Chain A
Amino acid sequence: MGEASHRGVMQGIADVNADNDLDLTFEPVERDPAGDVDAYAPLGEDILATSRARHIIGCTTSWSRKEVIPTLERLNGALWYPVPYEGFEASDRIVYTHACPNQHLLPLLEHALGAHGRRGYLTGSNYIWGWEMNRLARQVTVAAGGEILGERYLPLGSTDVARIVAEIAALRPDFVLNQLIGPSQYEFIAEMAKLRQRDPHFASPRCPVLSCNLTECELPVMGDAADGIIAAGPWFRGMPARSAGRDRGHGFGSSFEVAAHDSVMMLARLLNNRPGAEDLPLSQLLSLPVAGQLGISARTHHTRLPVAIARVQDGAFSVIRALEPIDGDPYLTGARDMPRAALRVVT
């Protein structure tokens, strides 16, 4: 996933530097924390203290993002965070350029409750993403008149999924919301595929596994077992790729690359024709009218994103619903209207 973000950023920089309409070029300053959560703050500090760079694009986990915030505050830096997360944050030093729950979980649940039924099962890895997503899913499902039949977690990295799959086999929910990550997720998907083969009740498309953060990055490792998973995200391969109002024209691999690429393009548009703007605090940069035109909210620092619901089929996503872009609502305090279906359904 980090590699996908990196590819998107590097492509964005190449595009900015090749664009004659922009009066600037970007020069990357790269540091690789290699997933070591204690390395993010020092390396962020290194970038801000030893180079002229004020904007950092990076971080995958929420934990690493929170580690970097004090450094950003102390050294007047900004972070563009280009991956989906669980919401409930609005740092004035961060721009959140991938989806938060009203842009992934809520539309995904709305789809599942309508298309598959109201009885859900929740599972996840034991850390904040899984806990928060499932808390919200329970709240939304119950409010919609549904029920949660079970909820079970695994330690990070555990592949001991037998009990979860056995519970699902016994409870026969209408859908399973999966917030397991990494090897836990891969093992769970493989065991669910076996369950579908031996128990006709679970034959596809019944009881789909839902995911808010699955992208093309992780499909190859799961192989055929991933078929039938339903995911929500701002972009899936095959959808039109537009960035800052322009066609990108790249063969992006996943929404991770797209969001990272968009981050670079949006930053370039914010700085374009504004000498000295590279040293402005992020809050001032985002209060420029162009930020609103790019879909960045000066109030929440979250971005307006399209929402697509897609089903995995033969190792790729097939979009089943494409919804109009909606603003990020990190604290879910806005109007609870669900996004409207776009006129054109992308397939």
Chain B
Amino acid sequence: MRRHLRIPHLGGAVAVILHRPHATVAALSRQLEAIGLRTQCQWPELSPAVQAADYLFLDVDTAHDDQFPWPPGRAPMPTIALIGSEAPGRIEWLMNFGADAQILKPVGTAGVYSALLIARATFDARAEMNDQIDSLRTRLAQRQTVVRAVARLAARGKTEDAAFEQLRHMAMAWRVSFEEAAARIMDGPGGDKEVNDG
């Protein structure tokens, strides 16, 4: 799959850095500001204002789940891991946290810009994929409704294939999804209730 990078608007964007006061923070802030972002260092706790940040950098050496007001993997903004120790336990924590990009410490002048671009693109791709998964889950849950709707149309003397086609045409005419069309048939006159009563 060929991906096209959309350059995010970074001028004036806010980056929060969750790291104790340290040379790493100074170097990272310097580079973020050179790129055009505004930075806030927060330690040891994230303020509620973090929810409005455009990017979050976090120190994997010291991070733990309680520091974040969201469940693992559900950060509401792109996150970038600052990795010092490469101990397996820390990497495992990072994998569960689900950062969108990473930078190895010590932080220099290289790596920050590419991490911002990669984190934004990865975050957006993940959000889009989650939307698709939600949509597929909903459709999966409506499978039973579709089966019933086809059965009901078939009960009027059609073959199953013909009933299926009829439902497809109804969905197209109503400009709704296949599942939504099935739900309308079952909710409409002569729906489940009537069938059951009959």
Q: Give me the interface of A with B, judged by CB distance under 8 Å.
A: 69, 73, 88-93, 139, 283, 299-301, 329-331, 333-335
Q: Which of B's residues lie within 8 Å of A, judged by CB?
A: 7, 9-12, 30-31, 33-37, 108-110, 113
Give, as a whole number of angstroms, the nearest-CB distance from B117 to chain A. 10
C-alpha spacing A69/B109, complex, angstroms: 10
- Give complex CA distance A330, B35 in Å: 8
Q: Nearest Cβ in chain A — how far from B152, in angstroms? A: 51
How distant is the Cα of A335 from the Cα of B12 in the complex, in angstroms? 10
- B108-A331 in contact (CB<8A): no
Residues of chain A within 8 A (CB-CB) of B12 are 333
> With a CB–CB cut-off of 8 A, which chain A residues contact B34?
90, 92, 299-301, 330-331
Q: How far is the CA of A90 from the CA of B35 in the complex (A)?
A: 8
Alpha-carbon distance A301/B109, docked complex (angstroms)? 12
Q: List 13 A-B contacts (CB under 8 A).
A: A89-B109, A92-B30, A283-B30, A299-B34, A300-B34, A329-B36, A330-B34, A331-B34, A331-B35, A333-B9, A333-B10, A333-B36, A334-B11
Query: Which residues on A sit within 8 Å (CB–CB) of B11?
Result: 333-335
B interface, by DSSP: helix, strand, loop or mixed?
Answer: loop
**Using Cβ atoms and an 8 Å threshold, which residues of chain B touch A301?**
34
- Complex: how many Å from CA A122 to CA B10? 27
By the criterion CB–CB under 8 Å, are A331 and B109 in contact? no
* CA–CA, A299 and B35, complex, Å: 9
How far in angstroms is the closest Cβ of chain A from B44? Answer: 28
B113 touches A93 (CB 8 A): no
Q: Which residues of A contact B36 (CB under 8 A)?
A: 329, 331, 333-334
Task: Judge whether B33 and A299 touch: CB under 8 Å.
Answer: yes
A331-B113 contact, Cβ under 8 Å, with A73-B108, A90-B35: yes
Give min CB distance, A335 to chain B, whole Å. Answer: 8
Q: Is the CB of A90 within 8 A of B109?
A: yes
Residues of A near B31 (CB, < 8 A) are: 90, 92
Q: Roughly how many angstroms separate A1 CA and B43 CA in the complex, as a whole number?
A: 50
Docked Cα-Cα span, A331 to B9, in Å, equals 10
In whole angstroms, how far apart are the Cα atoms of A335 and B7 in the complex?
Answer: 15
CA distance A193 to B12 in the complex (A): 46
Residues of chain B with a CB closer than 8 A to A89's CB: 109
The answer to whether A92 and B35 have CB atoms under 8 Å apart is no
Q: Provide the residues of chain A in CB contact with B110, threshold 8 Å.
A: 69, 91
Q: How far is the CA of A341 from the CA of B110 in the complex (A)?
A: 35
Measured between alpha carbons, how far is A334 from B9 in the docked complex, in Å?
Answer: 10
